[in-house]
Amino acid sequence: MRGVREVMTHCPYCALQCPTRLRSDDEEVEVSPGSLSDGRPGALCRKGWTAPELLRTPDRLLQPLLRGADGELVPTDWDRALDFMAHRLRDLRTEHGSDVVGVLGGGGLTNEKAYLLGKFARIALGTSRIDYNGRFCMSAAAAAGNAAFGLDRGLPFPVTDLEDAQVVLLAGANPASTMPPLLRHLERAQLVVIDPRRTATARRAALHLQPAPGTDLALLQGMLHVAVVEGLVKREYVRERTVGFQGAWQQASAWWPERAEQVTGVPAAEQRAAVRLLAEAERSYVLSGRGIEQHTRGTDTAAALINLSLALGLPGREGGGYGCLTGQGNGQGGREHGQKADQLPGYRPLSDPVARAHVARVWGVPVESLPGPGPSACELLGMLGAPGGPRALLVFGSNPVVSAPHTNHVRERLAALDLLVVADFVLSETAALADVVLPVTQWAEEEGTLTNLEGRVLRRRRLLRPPGQARSDLDVLSGVAARLGQPAERFPTVPRLVFDELRAASRGGRADYSGIDYERLDAGEVLHWPCPTAGHPGTPRLFLERFAHPDGRARFAEVDHCDPAEIPDEDYPLHATTGRLLLHYQSGAQTRRISELAASAPNPFVEIHPDTAHALGLSDGELADIDSANGHVVARVRLDRGIRPDTVFVPFHFPGRGTANLLTGNALDPVSGMPQFKSVAVRVTAHGAAGETA
């Protein structure tokens, strides 16, 4: 017995990163809410309350696995697994060059892991082909935010500021299911929700706008038109703090509300009511989510939402603002420090010569040795095994067989590889296909930092020792790098040392962490980036005096609506949209292993309006076939009068024939590389009616 241990850490799920207290007596791990930054009691959702069960999941990976000559994964030791991996990587690089290896990271990795993974890819492997699953999350909003404000941070203000809001517009966001504790900060506000479904969040709303999937941009243009025509634009703010209004208005001027209604289905009266609510309140906020971003025009749609916010004078002031609800636990930090295909640590552009020189100095390598920008995550997956594409892929913290679009194609590309390596704590659907599977630590077994949706850097603290032979991802990267000829000191395994190097690499960048250290975090300081010096208090509120462009002004964007990549037709007459459930998280690899959550939401389903189901001869609870031009899904019918009659909803947490992303295609936003998850043309029929077998 080692006695009772207790640590303060954070929930392993969404980017709200609720504080938690973990307590262990060697037999059980107990969890309870910690305190918020202002000392008030925190809260947890059901996922957070049940998270400790995952630490004892019976199918936990306890030693490395290597695929044998018979095609089966068999246990092995670390030396053999890493030796095999390094040998294959060396051979492939010798034959095909450094870009023969691809790397796919994850938005759940700590800052230290994300940083070292990017460094490993660019130095130890020398590849440009690294990206991460955050590309599926908020890359469109990030691209729009950088263009508009010169800087992207999910919320440029503390989440507690929302508690004083009078009106909050939630565009394509359903926090009642995706991050329930956020609702505590929205209790006083009137909510305006844009969503084709009457979600748990929409049921709380004062006003619910239900556009057809893929038409949000037209709706937002109509709303900007209302703001201008009704004299609700904050002219002084626009004149003093922005540029480009006339160009944005020229595009929106053609979208009078009645025209927007014809395209979106949202009544013109509701468009006007929504804009008036936002404009007439003293304290209004606009928040975006995946619903408006996960489209082939996701960046433009996020930009249109920013246009509306700027016209109403919201960003960069006390008592109002625009922000994006980051999804994954470290989606913010994960993209800031080198996992993205086009970025170096500190949110520095990889194509910037000054940024390259700074990071090369920190890493101690010639600047010319750093590869240039590579393909986005979906492009990377589509290139696997193809001529000129990667012949090997290393996956850390991601499960693309479930989470990536066009699942059938992803499986085909993974099967075409010469080497697939997956680091995970369970045999996920992707790990099950790998040649090498590496068992790594979970959240309560490691130290590190994460950055939440408001840009606050948080400490993750270890409660337990890893079971079996599980190792930290830092150990894995260091071990492989050494076998590839890298100096041991270049890839440290101690999180504190990695973070200190990250601080130096980020110094002077957009996301400057150089003034943040473990000592300040452990002393309880509340630190938001940028924090450029040891004595700096951090920056909880961005843009109060100026935006991050050289002239200090925000930019309106000239955008216009066009049809999504897939629109319903005679063969596929319905819109399908995908998304999350309250009881599951991302690909479900974690939550499907927690008994309470799995029992409450065990199977995939298709949500459909009763009138639509009746017209199709479908009954509640029966199996249905959902088909698109990309693939086929089987799920049970769930009737819901809150969804549009022309739309069905399929959650994406489930594997096998219920994998929602079997339906989605490979169409991408040309700016951000965001896939089109939210608008797919489908048909729904009784299961087996078209010849499918049960």
Residue 688 has what pLDDT? 85
Q: Are residues 177 and 316 in the same domain?
A: yes
Q: Which domain holds residue 467?
A: 65-136+331-522
What does the pLDDT average to over 66-83?
A: 97
Q: Are residues 110 and 159 in the same domain?
A: no
Phi, psi dihedral angles at 360 (to 5 degrees):
-60, -40
pLDDT at 502 over 80: yes
Confidence of residue 690 (pLDDT cuts 50, 70, 90): low
Q: Are residues 301 and 395 in the same domain?
A: no
Confidence of residue 2 (pLDDT cuts 50, 70, 90): low
Residue 270 has what pLDDT? 98
Q: Are residues 641 and 511 in the same domain?
A: no
Confidence of residue 694 (pLDDT cuts 50, 70, 90): very low
Confidence of residue 565 (pLDDT cuts 50, 70, 90): confident
Could you tell me the CATH number of the domain that includes residue 373?
Answer: 3.40.50.740
Could you tell me the CATH number of the domain that includes residue 196?
Answer: 3.40.228.10
Judge whether 221 lies within some domain: yes
Judge whether 230 lies within some domain: yes
Residue 693 has what pLDDT? 37
Judge whether 529 lies within some domain: no
Residue 25 has what pLDDT? 87
Q: Are 304 and 84 in contact (CB under 8 A)?
A: no
Judge whether 458 lies within some domain: yes
Confidence of residue 327 (pLDDT cuts 50, 70, 90): confident
Residue 633 has what pLDDT? 97
Q: Are residues 127 and 164 in the same domain?
A: no
Spatial distance between the Cα atoms of 336 and 449, rounded to a whole number of angstroms: 13
pLDDT at 648 over 50: yes
**Higher pLDDT among residues 331 and 37, named by residue:** 331
Instruction: Give alpha helix (H) positions in 97-125.
Output: 111-119
Which of 301, 311, 318, 326 is CA-nearest to residue 136?
A: 326
Amino acid making up residue 465: R
pLDDT at 108 over 90: yes
Could you tell me the CATH number of the domain that includes residue 654?
Answer: 2.40.40.20
Which of 219, 513, 182, 502 is CA-nearest to residue 324?
A: 182
Which of 646, 679, 637 is CA-nearest to residue 573?
A: 646
Residue 138 has what pLDDT? 85
Strand partners, 448: 460
Q: Of 280, 297, 325, at which residue does a domain stop?
A: 325
Query: Any idea what the Cα angle at residue 120 is, between residues 115 and 122, rounded to 5°?
Result: 100
Q: Are residues 319 and 463 in the same domain?
A: no
Q: Are residues 271 and 401 in the same domain?
A: no
Q: Are residues 287 and 335 in the same domain?
A: no
Confidence of residue 626 (pLDDT cuts 50, 70, 90): very high
Tell me what the pLDDT averaged over the chain comes to.
Answer: 96
Confidence of residue 1 (pLDDT cuts 50, 70, 90): very low
Q: Are residues 592 and 657 in the same domain?
A: yes
Could you tell me the CATH number of the domain that includes residue 37?
Answer: 2.20.25.90
Q: Are residues 170 and 235 in the same domain?
A: yes
Judge whether 555 lies within some domain: no
pLDDT at 26 over 80: no
Output the DSSP codes for 193-259: EE-SB--TTGGG-SEEE-PPTT-HHHHHHHHHHHHHHTT-S-HHHHHHHEE-HHHHHHHHTT--HHH
Give the count of domains, the chain.
4
| CA dihedral (53, 290, 549, 236) positive or negative | negative
Query: pLDDT (tens digit, 9 = 90+) per residue, 422-452?
Result: 999 999 999 999 999 999 999 999 999 999 9
What does the pLDDT average to over 114-120?
A: 98
Q: Are 114 and 333 in contact (CB under 8 A)?
A: yes
Q: Are residues 306 and 354 in the same domain?
A: no
Judge whether 117 lies within some domain: yes
Q: What proportion of the chain, given as a percentage, has pLDDT over 70?
A: 99
Residue 490 has what pLDDT? 97
Q: Of 305, 325, 345, at which residue does a domain stop?
A: 325
Judge whether 638 lies within some domain: yes
Query: pLDDT (tens digit, 9 = 90+) per residue, 264-281?
Result: 999 999 999 999 999 999
Q: Are residues 303 and 189 in the same domain?
A: yes
Q: Of 56, 81, 99, at which residue does a domain stop?
A: 56
Q: Are 315 and 156 in contact (CB under 8 A)?
A: yes
Judge whether 562 lies within some domain: no
Which of 419, 453, 448 is CA-nearest to residue 434?
A: 419
